[in-house]
Structure 1
Amino acid sequence: MGWQKYNTEKGRIGESRVCDYLKRNGYSILERNFRVPGSELDIIALDKACTTLVCIEVKRWSRPYYPEDDIRYAVSPRKIHRLKRGLASFIASNRQLRYDFIRIDVILLYGGELIHIEGEP
């Protein structure tokens, strides 16, 4: 049971690091760890530069190879489906939000590196 607490703590620290990165790059953090049955969204943010609502999946990467150019290699189609379902619930419960586009991004944490893979709007 101790390793689960350790992994959860590492995940929270990684998400905090990602939030700092996003803020420095013009994003507003709207929510962290948004949960609905069958889905959890790590970070939901607004990319002010292009008025895009963004769901960010944070992944720790343990291999030196990372799928820098394609989100499909970082997150399974099943996980993307669950993220979309969770994002739809977030949108339904936050109708006051104004944005022009919606996107799912993945941010990989590999050692000291942070790799941001932007999804398609």
Structure 2
Amino acid sequence: MKHNVLLGKAGESHAAQIYQAQGGSVLGRNVRYPGGEIDLIVKERDGTVVFIEVKTRTRTDFGGAEAVTADKIRRLRRAIAAWLREHHVQQIRIDVVEIQSGTVRIFKGVEDGAC
């Protein structure tokens, strides 16, 4: 497996652990639909379903959060819409988790693509 794929999977696992430590439960990982993919889906204690884009980087010259473009958010929204057609939930949120050189930053509520 390629280095970047392994790095991404490790980052997604780390992000899942963070949300689980806060009482969340993982509903899905790497959920694919035509036109988009959701890295991580977590249900928080209050029932909010969080769709999470995880960006893991080993270098600091270009941050992970900056890689989440408006186009990436559009593709993520398409995948979320497909997931929501199969699962009926009331509260949702889109988060971006950036893991860069061992530092974790969580950007909550990035529905409009601003990290």
TMscore range, shorter length = 0.7 to 0.9
Partner residue of 1:21 out of 11, 18, 22: 18
- RMSD over equivalenced CA pairs, Å: 2.2
What does residue 48 of structure 1 align with? 45
Structure 1 length-normalised TM: 0.79
What does residue 114 of structure 1 align with? 104
Between Structure 1 and Structure 2, the one with more helix by share is 1
Structure 2 length-normalised TM: 0.83
Q: Structure 1 stretches (4+) deviating beyond 2 angstroms?
A: 64-67
The count of corresponding residues between Structure 1 and Structure 2 is: 110
Q: Check if 1:37 corresponds to 2:34.
A: yes
Among the aligned pairs, what percent are the same residue? 35
Q: Check if 1:105 corresponds to 2:95.
A: yes
User: Which has the higher Rg, Structure 1 or Structure 2?
Assistant: 1
Q: Partners of 2:18 and 2:99 in 1: how far apart? A: 12
Q: Where does structure 1 lack aligned partners over 5 or more consecutive residues?
A: none
Residue 2 of structure 2 aligns to a residue whose secondary structure is helix
Q: Is the Cα–Cα contact under 8 Å of residues 74 and 106 in structure 1 kept in the other structure?
A: no
